A = this chain, B = another copy of it.
Amino acid sequence: MMQPPPAQPGMRIAEVDTPALILDLDAFEANLDHLAAQLQGTGVRLRAHAKTHKSPVIAHLQMARGAIGQCVQKVAEAEVLAWAGVPDIIVTNQVVGAQKLARLAALARITRIAICADDPRQVAAIEAAAEAAGVRIPVLVEIDVGMGRCGIDAGPDAVALAKKIAGSRHLEFRGLQAYQGSAQHMRTPEARADAVSHAADLSRRTVEQLRQQGLDCPVVGGAGTGTFAHEVASGVYTEVQCGSYCFMDADYARNTDAPGFRQALFVQATVMSTSQPGIAVLDAGLKALSTDSGFPLVWERPGLTFVGASDEHGKMTCADGSTPELGEKLLLVPGHCDPTVDRYDWYVGVRGGRVECLWPVAARGAFA
């Protein structure tokens, strides 16, 4: 169910009720500008990933700075964007099931929407949905470039699948989806560079084999905030699919080969208990913060360490002299931005210490 917003425009940030998802608008806009500048003149375009932000407002701001469209992972996310006028969307994922494919096909009448496939049976199912809806759907072949998750093998298997797509009456072969997700979170620059180099080699070879079979491959998509500089440099990728760059998080701060992004996303929480010595407890726990990539960091408060989350509590240890006041509001840097955003109904946009705007997390929970 949708929750009421925790703030009103004009409030001071300390007046915002907690837990709240805070967006530092200066840092956020700087991140949008920074990525646009990094891609300038490379010939590689940004198709930003809406799985991170789940917001048509942010999608339109990214496109106003040159992004050619949006990626999503789910049909329900595509619906939210398409219904809000986003004109070009790729579902960078498999969509399995007749109900979902019918919803996807319906969107093809109001936006440009493409989808991925990694299995001939899916191609047949997408063709059936497109035919039933009387639309034409572009399809990318997802190839496994090292994640060992989804994706058909690069090379001949991928080419055979592309031919099946190209030979389907209501489909169009659009290109390759070649995302190396594991590489985003590898800890050394060398490991990230090697992983992307391997992905680019597999993609390049597959593009060549497609050409030998007379199939043009207009799109090769992939890359994230951690590695996009490598995909751009490879000369193979035509679109990068960065998502987290607009917000950043504790995990990506440890891990990107293109520095210069600022932390723009925070969870504001209130100190709700200081009864136990050396401990302060926040009103934000597992339901308000994703902990899969580590606990959040306490922003600009040395001495405070977030050490444990239960359902509704966040526990911090306090070094000597750093214990916060009961009722004090602190900013946390989420460990992982995407699943943290997905817990909230509202972004609270702040600038100069004041609330400037409220934006709905319109595709929150849109996981169908």
A contacts, CB < 8 Å to B? 1-3, 6, 17-19, 51, 73-74, 76, 80, 93-97, 99-100, 118-119, 121-122, 144, 148-153, 181, 270-276, 279, 281, 283-284, 286-288, 290-292, 309-313, 315, 326-327, 336, 338-339, 342-345, 360-368
Contact = CB atoms under 8 A, between A and B. Distances in A.
Contacts of A6: 368
B326 A272 contact: no
Nearest to A97: B270
30 contacts: A1-B345, A1-B365, A2-B2, A2-B365, A3-B366, A3-B368, A17-B368, A73-B311, A73-B312, A74-B312, A94-B272, A96-B273, A118-B273, A119-B273, A119-B274, A121-B327, A144-B276, A148-B276, A149-B313, A150-B273, A150-B281, A284-B367, A286-B336, A286-B338, A286-B339, A287-B365, A288-B367, A291-B292, A311-B339, A364-B365
Contact of A343 (B273, B360, B365): B365
A327 B101 CA distance: 12
Contacts of A361: 1
Contacts of A290: 286
A323 to B, nearest CB: 13
A256 to B, nearest CB: 18
**A275, A288, A363 — most chain B CB neighbours (10 Å):** A275
B339 A279 contact: no
Given A1-B2, A76-B3, A327-B96, A312 B367 contact: yes
A51 B311 contact: yes
A225 B271 CA distance: 28
A310 B181 contact: yes
B119 A275 contact: yes
Nearest to A314: B149
A367 to B, nearest CB: 5
Contacts of A366: 1, 3
Contact of A17 (B100, B151, B181): B100
Given A51-B311, A273-B94, A279 B360 contact: no
Given A1-B2, A1-B366, A3-B365, 19 more contacts: A1-B80, A1-B362, A1-B363, A2-B365, A3-B366, A3-B367, A95-B272, A96-B271, A119-B273, A119-B326, A148-B276, A149-B315, A150-B276, A151-B275, A286-B336, A286-B338, A286-B339, A292-B309, A343-B367
Contact of A99 (B17, B73, B342): B17
Contact of A338 (B122, B311, B327): B311
Contact of A144 (B76, B99, B275, B345): B275
Contact of A313 (B2, B150, B279, B339): B150
Contact of A286 (B151, B292, B360, B364): B292
Across the A-B interface, the 5 shortest Cβ-Cβ residue pairs: A150-B273, A73-B312, A96-B272, A118-B275, A94-B272
B97 A327 contact: yes
Contacts of A326: 96, 119, 121-122
A72 to B, nearest CB: 10
Nearest to A308: B149
A153 B363 CA distance: 44
